[in-house]
Structure 1
């Protein structure tokens, strides 16, 4: 007996839930995305088209990839606290190329918002902004 797309989707998501904790919203999104992907693959198979036509398409909207407690790699869909240069290298990209490819500014940190905020707070506690202003002022005095 052949399984329906709904049955296959349910099995895939059940296996994901058994390996990691997911919220209700994450489960709903995963069900919808998995079903749509399976549906697209089925339609491509029926029509004889190549399913890999959208290789350059990111796995999600780049604006939504940087979240509070995670960042989603737009190349493969993996979740991290921070996108490391080592991981980006596995996709043949540098941080600069990744930012340019997906429209991020050059100053956008490639890490979860909570991690970025923690680093900023820690730097301010150590007096980095003040020390930076002093160093810049000292450099401009030397040039004159």
Structure 2
């Protein structure tokens, strides 16, 4: 966005203001450009004057994800389940936490070590379930029902 020019949100806001003004006020065709100019220049000056909110500074370094724990940017504590920690101790959802700290949606909420353990448990459970459902016949082909059942 160039300085002095309103952005898309400002243009939409300005259009709604002009529309509302014209609905309740009689304006000649020759005066219309001046009304639009006044509205947009006012919005642009307000947009440029509004200070951007500074994002908070993390209480830990950005090398926060290790196999043993993920550091919470709010308090610096290392935890295995960041999602539970920020919910219980900081009253934040994962989305709010990521937005507040400018993190990607791919930012982990679980340590790599715990994630690997969970993955191994899930794979084992799936294989056990599949081995219960699938059986081999005398030729070694997979069948879905046990022979003689």
Report the TM range for the smaller structure's normalisation.
Answer: 0.3 to 0.5
Q: What's the TM-score once normalised by structure 1's chain length?
A: 0.42
Bigger proportion of residues as helix: 1
Q: Which has the larger radius of gyration?
A: 2
Q: What's the TM-score once normalised by structure 2's chain length?
A: 0.41
